[in-house]
Chains A and B, each alone.
Chain A
Amino acid sequence: MQPLDYIAAGIQAVIFGPAAFELLGVPVPLTLVMVFAGVVTGILVGATPGLAGPMAMAISLPILISFFGYNVEALLPVLGFLIGIMKGATLGGAVPAILFNTPGTPDAYMTTLDGYPLTKKGQSRKALKVAHLSSVSGDTFSDIALFVCAPFVALMVERHLDFPEKTALLILSLSFIAAVIGGSPGKGLISVALGLIAVFIGGGEDFYPRLSLGTDALAGGFSIMTAILGVLIVGAVLKEYEDLWHRSNLSGTCERIVDNGDQRLTRAEILRIAPYIGQSSIVGTIIGALPGIGTTLAAALGYQLGRARHERRRPEGAPAFGEGAIEGVAATEAANSSVSGSNLIPVLGLGIPGNAAAVFIILATDSIGGFTPGPSVFRFSESVVNTELVLVFGLFTAMLFANLVNWTFGGAFMRAATVMVRAPKRTLLPVVLLLTFTAVYAQEPSMESLWFTLGFGILGYLMRKVDMSPLPFVIAFVLGGSLENSARQAFSATGGDPYFLFSSWISIFFLAGSVVTVVLALRQKRTDSTQA
């Protein structure tokens, strides 16, 4: 098959795949229905303070797998739903930030700086329109970057990296994530180490399951679902509840919003914000391609660069950043939304998740089977059909459809989602917890798994409590098995050479990069502390 045939096959897998129902005798593709449902869910979840896209992805994944089963046909509908949530949540996060000065997602914090002043000026609908346009533009730009870059990254990796280099690359990724997340390389390394220890329990090649303390409960190891949902979701719920205890429930004190003046977004205004959208889209896309950095930094950088530009070109009398400038909303929303597509470059190109949402994409493919994200996915085989490549192009089609939904209906859904801001957190968070337990049980029908989930939840809470990011833990848990297998294969392939990691310049370069990343982060930390 030629590359164009693969693209056509991917589109066909979505359009002519299983139908959800018939509309006037025309079958409606299941994948497209799932993408649509995912986008709507994502916008609603993003608009609810205290909830986040990864929470919805975590809860829905086991339930979807139980419904669709473990077969390749389930991949596109399930991944379509998850990607819909990922894209919708970024859009929905702007709603409470603009209307109620409460960011729905952490990366929407910068949106409050100009979005809320606009609301106070009676321009909330205009602010929502700016957020919608910027967010969807950034997202679309990032997706295009993904479609172009991921195959090249994968092909380069496939061509130049063997087992030792792949092992070194995994070490580099983990070091990078440990060094850049959370602002403390020490805590990042502890988080990575705990994730690795957790995944190594009960594993190994010997008959005796290692580190199991001779118990049956630990002999099978911790399942990926209990560890990830526990640390990410249960931990977040416990921490949110503690924060709620500290302050009054913000969601119960909504102000009445009164709009006045023209709420339309004029052509002149679109042209005014276009350079900010473009600049932030590039920044967000570059940041998104690096594992672990995430949307919050992208939003902050996009905002700072936008402010610098605005200061240079601001006309007399126009509001500055922080005073209700539509350019401020555009710069932030374009930056945080343009992370989502490029975040999948390391996932699809290398099989390395860069953020929580990407972890669930990997988890979905890992659970369902038939698709292993990594360089081999992009092998354009002419003689034998590479079904994984067809699935990738199906996934790209689903992403494009999600963008189309966001472009066309996203604005209306954003306005409708304002009702979610009033959802009482005190009831909502325990519901999320119960749904998480239900989702874990759906995947692993044993009460033991719920106890493990709670245990990991307490660990996740404690990590958040001491300002240690749980994301390195999760990524280390996901990559730990691959790292060990890759090292075993590299060791065997080099004939038991103990220095296999130093067998090529590429792997030495990756290893040196791992050390340099941690050292630089440590020096930066010490400089910051000295200046403070």
Chain B
Amino acid sequence: MYRLNIYIGTGAVLLALVGLFLWIPQDTGTGLIVRVRRQVSIGDALAPTIAFTLLAIGGALLLIERRKHSSTDVMLAPFLHTGALVAVIILGLLLMRHAGPGFLLVAEWFGATDTEYRLLRETFPWKYIGYFLGGVAIIGGMASLSAGRLQARTVLIAGVVTIGLVALVDVPFDDLLLPPNGDY
């Protein structure tokens, strides 16, 4: 952990310096102190300045903390595995967002409908298409990635569980919108 702490400490100090000398001065409307109509008050920059200063102090403390030189390696494989998991989640969210309108485009192409998605977002099956496909992709994808193989049984379980979640979350609550229907 020793070398890792040096990386974290250095990163925190660098981020703090960027925040203090670039981000805050360039991206806040008022300074540390503001004088309006002869009244002095705290400006918008003060709180983030204190936060970035704390970040610098935390980073510096980490650099001076003595630690046992036991493990210096950070394994790459777990990061790659988690990276793949995040990719599956992103894919699932993209499906959730675009599957419903995408299917509608296809339906329009075949001349089945000419209604926009916003008007269909609370009707069956349109309200569930994105959530169902995105949910199956997230649950089935993550479970398959963890198991190291894609099985029809996993996808089936993901489908059943997602339908269960729809029944649990959407059916009893009239006002609750499933993703992505609130965006339309």
Binding site for B on A (CB under 8 A): 63, 66-67, 178, 184-194, 196-197, 200, 203-208, 210-214, 238, 241-242, 244-246, 426-427, 429-431, 433-435, 437-438, 441-442, 445-447, 450-451, 454, 458, 461, 465-468, 480, 483-484, 487-488, 491-492, 496, 498, 518, 522, 525-526, 529-530, 532
Contact = CB atoms under 8 A, between A and B. Distances in A.
- A-B pairs with the 4 shortest C-beta distances? A445-B182, A189-B58, A206-B29, A186-B62
Contacts of A465: 78-79
Residue of A200, A433, A488, A518 with most partner-chain B CB within 10 A: A200
B183 to A, nearest CB: 5
Given A246-B78, A529-B67, A185 B61 contact: yes
Given A197-B55, A447-B179, A454 B19 contact: no
Contacts of A194: 55
Given A189-B57, A431-B165, A484-B42, 13 more contacts: A184-B65, A190-B12, A200-B51, A204-B28, A204-B29, A206-B30, A242-B82, A433-B142, A437-B93, A447-B180, A450-B96, A498-B33, A526-B66
A426 B143 contact: yes
B86 interface: yes
Interface string B58-93: 111111011110000000001101100110011001
A210 B138 contact: no
17 contacts: A184-B62, A189-B54, A204-B28, A205-B44, A207-B29, A210-B27, A210-B29, A430-B158, A431-B139, A433-B89, A438-B169, A445-B182, A447-B96, A447-B179, A450-B93, A466-B4, A529-B66
A271 to B, nearest CB: 45
A454 B93 contact: yes
Contacts of B113: none
A187 B30 contact: no
A211 B9 contact: no
A447 B65 contact: no
Contacts of B59: 186, 190
Residue of B8, B57, B59, B180 with most partner-chain A CB within 10 A: B8
Given A193-B52, A210-B48, A244-B146, A187 B8 contact: yes
B183 A487 contact: no
A193 B182 contact: no
Contacts of B66: 525-526, 529-530
Contacts of A200: 47-48, 51
B97 interface: yes
Interface in B1-58: 1, 4-5, 8-9, 12, 16, 19, 23-24, 27-30, 33, 39-48, 50-52, 54-55, 57-58
Nearest to A69: B175
Contacts of B176: 63, 66-67, 442
A486 B86 CA distance: 39
Given A211-B27, A212-B27, A451 B93 contact: yes
Nearest to A491: B42
B28 A245 contact: no
Contact of A461 (B57, B67, B82): B82
B146 A241 contact: yes
Contacts of B179: 437-438, 441, 445, 447, 450
Contacts of B175: 66
A190 B89 contact: no
B61 A441 contact: no
Given A238-B86, A426-B147, A454-B89, A186 B65 contact: yes
B178 interface: yes
B9 to A, nearest CB: 7
A44 to B, nearest CB: 14
A491 B41 contact: yes
B150 interface: no
Contacts of B50: 196
A435 B138 CA distance: 11
A187 B6 CA distance: 11
A286 B162 CA distance: 43
A91 to B, nearest CB: 24
B64 to A, nearest CB: 8
Contact of B55 (A63, A193, A434): A193
A427 B139 contact: yes
